[in-house]
């Protein structure tokens, strides 16, 4: 599984050590009925579950970060604006990762494929809707890369999507075909994502009132001897705030992280000005086998970083 490994590497590469820092209070809570209805449409086998607070996503799209995101490809501004106008959206997703790639599944309610096609048309994206109106394929360009997204209409105004990712020789993203998405729905009788009790416990620990949240477990993966459960949030409130907790079960890795961070903190002065906040504003604390990292950036700092990433993506596409 690659996701938690990346989280550890990120902690080791950027941060500030603050062993005495008190963790922010967590709004952990049992899964609600509305959330459970979405999770029941996600097949078993995932390592990570994620979701979002749609009202806060609206705030995101109206922020400087939202403006930066909207500039990451032709039509993205119109596409994002169209999504903001869908007032009753609720979303949940899951992901699984292996040595060479992974899959990400998403289900959301409060929209139809007709709504999605209208958004695609508004953005100028190529889209193809099957004659029976139950499968939509959308093609867009983001950061210079062409992406396709397949969507399956489910009963009750739910939409299901799935993308497969290959990491070898550069990331390749493949949309789920109609047959594959329908096959996923047929597999639900064999189990759903929160049948994994360790994953369900991680979901209940995360503050799901934030703009975006994720929770996962490395149990049953090749790095389960290094990482256990993990969860985190990404919130929009006068800037961007990220809060991530990782259970690092290998004490040698924890020690290396905490010993390396102060040295990296000192190196911020030698970094490009637009990247310095990633080191200067991030704090990391250790509590037993838990590594807790927090990062706060202003709207303008995030917008600058997004512009850098967008430029990098365009350069990579040349």
- 130 confidence band (pLDDT: 50, 70, 90): very high
pLDDT at 61 over 70: no
Distance (Å) of CA 223 to CA 101, 135, 244: 15, 37, 18
pLDDT tens per residue across span 200-247:
988 998 999 888 899 999 887 888 899 999 999 988 776 788 999 999
Q: What is the pLDDT of residue 12?
A: 33
Contact present, 296 and 237 (Cβ < 8 Å): no
How open is the CA angle 195-198-202, to the nearest 5 degrees?
110
Rounded to whole angstroms, the Cα distance separating 262 from 240 reads 23
**Which stretch of 185-194, 281-290, 295-304 has the lowest confidence by average pLDDT?**
295-304
Q: What is the number of residues in the chain? A: 318
Rounded to whole angstroms, the Cα distance separating 240 from 234 reads 7
pLDDT at 112 over 90: yes
Q: What is the pLDDT of residue 11?
A: 32
Q: What is the pLDDT of residue 64?
A: 59
pLDDT at 312 over 80: no
Rounded to whole angstroms, the Cα distance separating 304 from 5 reads 27
pLDDT tens per residue across span 173-185:
899 999 999 999 9
**Which residues neighbour 37 within 8 Å (Cβ) at sequence distance 6 or greater?**
109
pLDDT tens per residue across span 2-59:
333 333 333 333 333 333 333 333 467 889 999 999 999 999 999 999 998 765 665 5
Q: What is the pLDDT of residue 22?
A: 35
pLDDT tens per residue across span 69-89:
656 678 888 887 888 788 778
The helix, strand and coil proportions of the chain, stated in percent and rounded to the nearest 5, come to 40, 30, 30
Q: What is the pLDDT of residue 131?
A: 96
Rounded to whole angstroms, the Cα distance separating 79 from 83 reads 6
* pTM summary value: 0.77
Q: What is the pLDDT of residue 18?
A: 36
Q: What is the pLDDT of residue 260?
A: 86
Paired strand residues for 103: 96, 164
Counting Cβ atoms within 10 Å, is residue 85 exposed (0-12), middle (13-18) or buried (19+)? exposed
Q: What is the pLDDT of residue 179?
A: 97
Rounded to whole angstroms, the Cα distance separating 248 from 302 reads 28
């Amino acid at each position: 599984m690659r996701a938690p490994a990346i989280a550890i590497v990120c902690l080791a590469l950027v941060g500030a050590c603050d062993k005495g820092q008190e963790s922010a209070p967590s709004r952990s809570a049992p899964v609600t009925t509305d959330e459970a209805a979405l999770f029941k449409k996600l097949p078993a086998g995932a390592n990570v579950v994620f979701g979002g607070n749609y009202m806060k996503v609206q705030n995101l799209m109206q922020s400087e970060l939202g403006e930066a995101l909207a500039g990451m490809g032709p039509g993205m501004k119109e596409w994002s604006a169209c999504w903001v106008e869908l007032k009753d959206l609720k979303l949940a997703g899951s992901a699984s990762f292996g040595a060479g790639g992974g899959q990400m599944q998403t289900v959301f309610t409060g929209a139809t494929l007709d709504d999605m096609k209208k958004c695609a048309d508004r953005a100028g994206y190529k889209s193809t809707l099957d004659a029976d109106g139950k499968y939509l394929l959308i093609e867009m360009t983001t950061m210079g890369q062409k992406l396709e997204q397949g969507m399956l209409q489910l009963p009750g105004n739910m939409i299901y999507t799935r993308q497969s990712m290959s990491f070898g020789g550069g990331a390749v993203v493949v949309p789920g075909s109609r047959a594959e998405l329908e096959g996923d729905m047929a597999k639900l009788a064999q189990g759903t994502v929160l049948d994994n009790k360790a994953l369900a416990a991680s979901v209940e620990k995360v503050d799901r009132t934030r703009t975006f949240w994720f929770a996962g477990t490395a149990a049953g993966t090749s790095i389960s001897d290094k990482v256990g459960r993990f969860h985190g949030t990404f919130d929009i409130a006068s800037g961007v705030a990220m809060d991530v907790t990782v259970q690092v079960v290998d004490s040698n890795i924890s020690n290396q992280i905490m010993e390396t961070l102060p040295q990296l903190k000192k190196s911020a002065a030698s970094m490009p000005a637009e990247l310095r906040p990633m080191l200067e504003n991030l704090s990391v604390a250790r509590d037993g086998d838990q590594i807790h990292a927090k990062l706060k950036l202003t709207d303008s700092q995030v917008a600058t970083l997004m512009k850098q990433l967008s430029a990098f993506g365009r350069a990579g596409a040349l």
